[in-house]
Amino acid sequence: MTSNQTSLQQLMFSLIEIWQASGQSQKTFCQEKDLAYSKFHYWHKKYVEYQTPSSSGEPFVAVTVKNSRAVEPLPAGTMELVFPDGRRLIFNRSVEAGFLKTLLG
């Protein structure tokens, strides 16, 4: 994959993640972003394929997303990954799902 293709994929995957957090329908989101629905649908399919574990035997890691913490709040714009055994990994900025997949894989 060329650098331009990678950049386009990152852009489209970021838009899909923004859409997921928006609570809007795909069509409404595309209209607001002036994005062709067919293009969004194409990249959404690629995103789902990218997020789905391959049939090569890679283990699937379940991730639960929580918007708030009962303990101490994190500064705005940060993310925290809490493992079942209590270990915590704090990011100083938002990270893409693909990065987490690579990190946890």
Reading the chain (105 residues) residue by residue, the pLDDT tens digits are 666 777 888 899 999 999 998 889 999 999 999 999 999 999 998 888 887 765 555 555 566 666 655 556 666 677 777 777 777 888 887 777 777 777 776
Output the six-digit token pair for 92: 């100083």
Output the six-digit token pair for 63: 């991730």
Domain boundary among 14, 30, 51: 51
Q: Does residue 103 share a domain with residue 58?
A: yes
Domain that holds residue 28: 3-51
In the beta sheet, which residues pair with residue 82? 88
Task: Find where tokens 């789902």 sit.
Answer: 48
Rounded Cα gap, residues 8 and 77, in angstroms: 23
Q: Does residue 39 share a domain with residue 22?
A: yes
Q: Does residue 46 share a domain with residue 29?
A: yes
Count of domains for the chain: 2
Q: Does residue 104 share a domain with residue 59?
A: yes
